[in-house]
């Protein structure tokens, strides 16, 4: 950086115009600094005749400042300039300015480009309240509202018809199927849930999911259970759903279960309506059902809509114009998204559920139900990520009828996960189990990874140690994007 007198002289009264330069190339470069409290990303422009050098001119107050560059979604600092490393490992470039002709040299005892520790820096200059650990921690309200508005407009003007693949299959189950048979079908088809068809009503009446089988296995594991393994041969899906309604006290004044309509979408519902329907009803997918009759008879099941498919549409649409969504270049640690491991003194944060691989399977199943989460990180004694247990992993117990001769209080999570790691399982599917990201990854990078088929959450880990720092899910992203 240098003085910008030639670019316009002094700035606003009491401020100095400074020219900041990033000489190391890139496609998109932004500047952020303590001179505006880290609240803005200032776009930098390539210099004429030198496309690898980017510059920006800012009006700043005299004194001590820190700044850094966001280059192609990654935070960088100019190693040729004086910089400071905080106790958290954050490296920012330091700037001292008094007059518009200021020459940025700290002094003979501090060589240019040297990383200063906190103690060395305090001997050179008084540190202001904006310490080096104050990386972008706040979002510009204007940028947030602009981004949300543009995403809302896109979702409101595109329909779920656009989610339909060119070819594919959707598995539906008859409500008169035995629960045991349905369990095996989901395992053999490699799917976590399926719509339910009632032949007598001629309608789709609900969904059977992995959560149902978790509840069933818990019932089988209880000594007082009225549902034995032998009864699974004849116990139908409709009977289970009715029994589940009684368990959840979803009954009317005549002790009959409430008749609940299936949560679904039509092919011409806009994507915002579909996303809100998924979030508000806390479901993973909604079937897209179409009927050409006014009374809804002869329905056709077209597809299962999910947040992943909708996110893929957003990423595809904004991929080549990401600059219109300012929040995309912010790191996920700087925005209110995801569930994070509480730090010391942050007892008000929702704790992140984690388990050791030696924990009994029953502990994982209980957590999935009680904590109302879809997955649990499995970690070692240092809280480093080893694997993840998801609701859909329960279907692995259908392999060789394992569920008929196990005790969920004695079987460990590690043993259960081993069942699902068949040698013939494609590597692509296995590698999707434990998708990770860093706290410094941009929102755009996180969204693009979550838009991949089969990926429903990312585990936020510490670089190197893989220590779990948090988890961000598809629901978290949409709750943030839709406000």
Q: What is the pLDDT of residue 3?
A: 47
Q: Which two tokens stand for residue 147?
A: 């981004």
Residue 383 Rama label (left phi>0; alpha psi -120 to 50; beta): left
The domain spans of the chain are 16-96, 161-309, 328-482
Q: Which helix (H) or strand (E) holds 362?
A: helix 361-370
User: What's the confidence (pLDDT) of residue 163?
Assistant: 92
For residue 161, the model assigns a pLDDT of: 92
Q: Is 428 within 8 Å of 435 (Cβ atoms)?
A: no
Give dist(CA 56, CA 167) in Å, integer: 49
Neighbours of 275 (CB within 10 A): 26
What's the confidence (pLDDT) of residue 258? Answer: 55
- For residue 349, CA distances in Å to 167, 204, 342, 343 come to 44, 40, 6, 9
Map tokens 């508000």 to a residue: 280
Of 471, 448, 262, nearest to 374 by C-alpha is 471
For domain 16-96, the CATH architecture is Sandwich (2.60)
CB atoms within 10 A of CB 400: 9
DSSP annotation string for 277-308: HHHHTT-SEEEEEE-SSTT--S-EEEEEEEHH
Q: How far apart are CA 195 and CA 190, in angstroms?
A: 15
Residues 6+ apart with CB under 8 A from 321: none
Residue listed under structure tokens 């904004």:
318
In tens digits, what is the pLDDT along the chain, a chain of 483 residues?
A: 554 443 344 455 567 778 888 988 888 898 888 887 777 888 898 887 788 888 888 888 877 788 889 888 888 888 777 777 765 556 777 776 654 333 333 333 333 233 333 333 333 333 333 333 333 445 678 888 889 999 999 999 999 999 998 888 899 999 999 988 898 899 888 888 999 999 998 999 999 998 888 888 777 665 445 556 666 677 889 888 887 766 555 544 555 555 567 899 999 999 999 999 999 998 889 999 998 887 778 899 999 999 999 999 999 999 887 778 888 888 898 888 988 887 655 544 556 889 999 999 989 988 888 878 889 999 999 999 999 999 888 888 888 778 777 788 888 999 988 887 754 444 444 445 788 999 989 999 999 999 988 888 999 999 888 999 999 999 999 999 998
Q: Element (H or E) spanning 118, and its range?
A: helix 118-124
328-482: CATH number: 3.10.580.10
Query: Is there a common fold for 161-309 and 328-482?
Result: yes
| Residue that the structure tokens 């429903």 belong to | 456
- Can you list the alpha helix ranges (DSSP code H) found in 129-199? 141-156, 179-189
- The architecture of the domain spanning 161-309 is Roll (3.10)
**Cα gap 314→148, rounded to integer Å:** 12
CA 364 to CA 135: how far, in whole Å?
36
Length of the chain as a residue count: 483
pLDDT (0 to 100) of residue 480:
94
According to the model, what pLDDT value does residue 246 have?
Answer: 60
What pTM was computed for the model? 0.67
Report the DSSP pairing between strands 115-116 and 173-174: unpaired
Return all residues near 83 (Cβ < 8 A) that are at least 6 apart.
77, 91, 92, 93, 94, 113, 114, 115, 116
């Amino acid at each position: 950086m240098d003085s910008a007198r030639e670019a316009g002289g002094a700035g606003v009264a009491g401020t100095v115009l400074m020219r900041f330069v990033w000489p190391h190339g890139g496609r998109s470069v932004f500047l952020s600094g303590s001179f505006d409290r880290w609240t803005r990303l200032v776009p930098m422009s390539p210099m004429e005749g030198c496309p690898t050098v980017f510059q920006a001119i800012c009006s700043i107050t005299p004194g001590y400042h820190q700044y850094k560059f966001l280059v192609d979604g990654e935070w960088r600092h100019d190693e040729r300039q004086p910089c400071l490393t905080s106790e958290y490992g954050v490296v920012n470039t330091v700037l001292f300015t008094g007059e518009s002709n200021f020459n940025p040299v700290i002094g003979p005892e501090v060589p240019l480009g040297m990383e200063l520790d906190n103690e060395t820096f305090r001997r050179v200059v008084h540190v202001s309240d904006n310490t080096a650990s104050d990386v972008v921690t706040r979002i510009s309200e204007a940028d947030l509202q602009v981004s949300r508005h543009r995403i809302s407009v896109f979702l409101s003007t595109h329909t779920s018809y656009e989610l339909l693949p060119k070819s594919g299959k959707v598995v539906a189950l008859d409500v008169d199927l035995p629960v045991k048979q349905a369990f095996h079908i989901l395992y053999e088809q490699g799917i976590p849930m399926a719509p339910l068809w009632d032949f007598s009503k001629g309608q789709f009446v609900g969904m059977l999911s992995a959560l149902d089988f978790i509840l069933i296995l818990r019932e089988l594991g209880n000594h007082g259970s009225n549902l034995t393994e032998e009864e699974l041969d004849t116990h139908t899906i409709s009977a289970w759903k009715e029994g589940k309604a009684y368990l959840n006290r979803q009954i009317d004044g005549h002790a009959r279960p409430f008749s609940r309509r299936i949560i679904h979408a039509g092919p011409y519902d806009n994507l915002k309506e579909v996303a809100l329907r998924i979030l508000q009803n806390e479901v993973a997918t909604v079937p897209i059902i179409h009927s050409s009759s006014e009374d809804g008879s002869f329905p056709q099941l077209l597809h299962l809509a999910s947040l992943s498919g909708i996110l893929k549409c957003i990423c595809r649409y904004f991929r080549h114009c990401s600059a219109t969504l300012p929040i995309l270049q912010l790191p996920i640690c700087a925005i209110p998204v995801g569930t994070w491991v509480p730090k010391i003194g942050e007892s008000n944060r929702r704790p992140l559920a984690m388990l050791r691989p030696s924990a009994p399977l029953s502990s994982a199943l209980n957590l999935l139900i009680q904590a109302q989460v879809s997955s649990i990180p499995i970690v070692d004694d240092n809280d480093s990520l080893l694997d993840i247990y998801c609701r859909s992993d329960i279907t692995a117990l259908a392999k060789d009828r394992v569920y008929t001769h196990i005790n969920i209080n004695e079987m460990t999570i590690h043993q259960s996960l081993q069942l699902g790691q068949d040698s013939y399982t494609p590597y692509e599917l296995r590698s999707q189990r434990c998708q990770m990201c860093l706290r410094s990854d941009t929102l755009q990078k996180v969204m693009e990874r979550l838009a991949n088929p089969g990926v429903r959450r990312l585990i936020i880990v510490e670089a190197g140690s893989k220590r779990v720092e948090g988890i961000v899910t598809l629901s978290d992203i949409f709750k943030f994007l839709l406000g």
